[in-house]
Amino acid sequence: MTTTKQTVTMTVDGAQYSDDVEPRLLLVQYLRERLGKTGTTVGCDTTNCGACTVLLDGESVKSCTMFAVQADGHEVVTVEGLAQNGELHPVQQAFHEHAALQCGYCTSGMIMQSVSLLNENPHPSQEEIRSGLEGNLCRCTGYQSIVEAVSAAAGEGDTQ
Ligand code: FES
Ligand code: FES
């Protein structure tokens, strides 16, 4: 049995794409396998880890939880679209400066969730940061360095 493909058109990291996809293709698969945006990772594909987090019209979504066709007509930003003119996004810079990663597997999702968090709440407390990142799992860092990086990116200074 053949599956009817659907055409999806979306903006990803500032460029417009239009492709025929199977309705069952997950957004994260589309980003990684069709567009080659492998900065977005897959840690579980069961909505648990947050590694696949991207922004959809400015709000964070786990891209393993939606189909590519659901992003039709929308704007997606991945970790690969954050840097501008060769300059890291302040959240990326803060993760770098605070060594907020070890293996790096969770990092793109953590950064995208942090960007979304700071868009909604530019000056979060450490408790609010922990709460905002609770859907993103990290096996390596123990989270404290991540919380400090997000706090620094928010201009709250070094909170060690
Ligand atoms: S890969 Fe999407 S939540 Fe884990
Ligand atoms: S840095 Fe390894 S899972 Fe977070």
Q: Which domains does the chain have, with CATH numbers?
A: 6-81 (3.10.20.30), 90-153 (1.10.150.120)
CA 136–ligand 2 middle distance (angstroms) = 10
CB 51 within 8 A of CB 109: yes
List Cβ neighbours of 133 (8 Å cut-off, separation of 6 or more).
50, 110, 113, 114, 117, 143, 146, 147, 150
Read off the pLDDT of residues 40-78 as tens digits, 9 standing for 90 and up: 999 997 999 999 999 999 999 999 999 999 999 999 999
C-beta of 101 in contact with ligand 2 (< 6 A): yes
Confidence of residue 3 (pLDDT cuts 50, 70, 90): confident
β-pairing, 6-12 with 75-77?
parallel
CA 2–ligand 2 middle distance (angstroms) = 40
pLDDT at 19: 98
**Mean pLDDT of the 127-145 span:** 97
Radius of gyration of the chain, Cα coordinates, nearest whole angstrom: 16
Considering the chain, what is the average pLDDT of its residues?
Answer: 95
Query: Structure tokens of 128?
Result: 């609010």
User: Nearest ligand, CA of residue 41?
Assistant: 1
DSSP 26: B
The Cα–Cα gap between 31 and 41 comes to 10
Confidence of residue 102 (pLDDT cuts 50, 70, 90): very high
User: Nearest ligand, CA of residue 100?
Assistant: 2
β-pairing, 75-77 with 59-62?
unpaired
Q: Which of 47, 110, 112, 133 to mutate to test the pocket of ligand 1 (most atoms within 8 A of CB)?
A: 47
